[in-house]
Amino acid sequence: MYRESGIPGLGTVWAVAPEPESRASVIRADGCADIVLRDDELLIAGPSTRWLLARGGDGTDTVGLRFPPGRAGAALGVDPQQLRDRLVPAREFLPRPLRNRGEAALRGLLTASADSTVERAARLSGDADPARRRERFRAAALEVPRTLDLALDLADLDWTREARAAAARGEPADRLARRLGYSERQLRRRMLQAFGYGYAALRRVLRAERARRLILAGSSPATAAQLAGYADQPHLTREFRRMIGASPAQLAAGGSPLEGAGSGA
C-alpha cells in the first residue's frame, strides 16, 4: 500500500509497504529527488530522468521525502548532477548532523505508517479504520520540517518554480531564459546546478507525466500523444519506454507496475 502527504514549501512525504515477495518495482521518471529510509539505511534517490527498478523494504515500510524538481540540491547541499538517476547511501554525500536529522524525521514517518498490533488484527478482521491511519501519517508528516531543520531559502528558488511551469507548458528554452533575464547558456548552467539536468530533460519528464495522466484518465494513446505535445504515437511510445518503463498500451491496460513512490525506493 502506498500513501503520501504534501508539506507546503518542502515537498511530499510518502510510505510504501514491502512487496509480498520482495520483488522489484518499476519507478517512473519524475525529475524529483528523495531522501529515503529503507531497511534502517538512509539513502538519496537522485533526480530521475529515466525509469529505474527499486525494491521495497525487507518486512518493513520504506518511507521518504520527495523534493520537487530543482529543490533537493539547495535543501541537502549536494550537487544534483552527481546523483542523477542514482540511488546512493546518504553517508557518501550528507554530513552526519543532516543524516541524523533525516533519519529521525523519517523514523517518525515509519512509526506512523506501521500497523500497531491492534490495527493489524483489525485489518485482518476487516474492521480497520483507514481514516485514523491516514490522519496519524499526516500528523507525522507535519513534524518532518521541524525535525529536518533545513535552511532553505525559497525566495532564491522562485525561478525553479517558474522553470517547472514553463516546461509543463512546453515553452521553448530561449523564451524562458529571456523572461528570467538569462542567456540560454546561463539557464543551462543554473538548471544543471539546481535540477541536475537541463531544461529539455525537464520538459520531457513533465510531458511524459501529462501523457501518463491522460491515459490513466481514459484517453487513447493516440489522443494522449496529441494533447501532450508528441509528434505522433510512436514518439510517445519511445518516450514512455524511457521515462515510464512500459508502453502506453500496457499502461492503458493496467498491466504494468507503474503506480508507486515517485523517485524513491
Mean pLDDT value across the chain = 87
pLDDT at 125: 52
Query: CB within 8 A of 39, min separation 6: which ones?
Result: 57, 58, 60, 62
Q: Is the pLDDT of residue 152 over 80?
A: no
Q: Is the pLDDT of residue 265 over 80?
A: no
Confidence band for 117, pLDDT divided at 50, 70 and 90: very low
- Rounded CA separation 124/25 (Å): 25
Per-residue pLDDT tens over the stretch 202-246: 999 999 999 999 999 999 999 999 999 999 999 999 999 999 999
Per-residue pLDDT tens over the stretch 101-113: 999 999 999 988 8
User: Cβ distance 244 to 29 under 8 Å?
Assistant: yes
Confidence band for 257, pLDDT divided at 50, 70 and 90: very low
- Amino acid identity for residue 203 in this structure: R
pLDDT at 213: 95
Confidence band for 91, pLDDT divided at 50, 70 and 90: very high
- Rounded CA separation 238/244 (Å): 10
pLDDT at 264: 44
Taking Cα atoms as reference points, which of 34, 31, 49 lies closest to residue 4? Answer: 34
42-79 b/e with 16+ CB inside 10 Å = b? bbbbbbbbbbbebebbeebbbbbbbbbbbbbbbbbebe
- Rounded CA separation 133/136 (Å): 5
Confidence band for 23, pLDDT divided at 50, 70 and 90: low
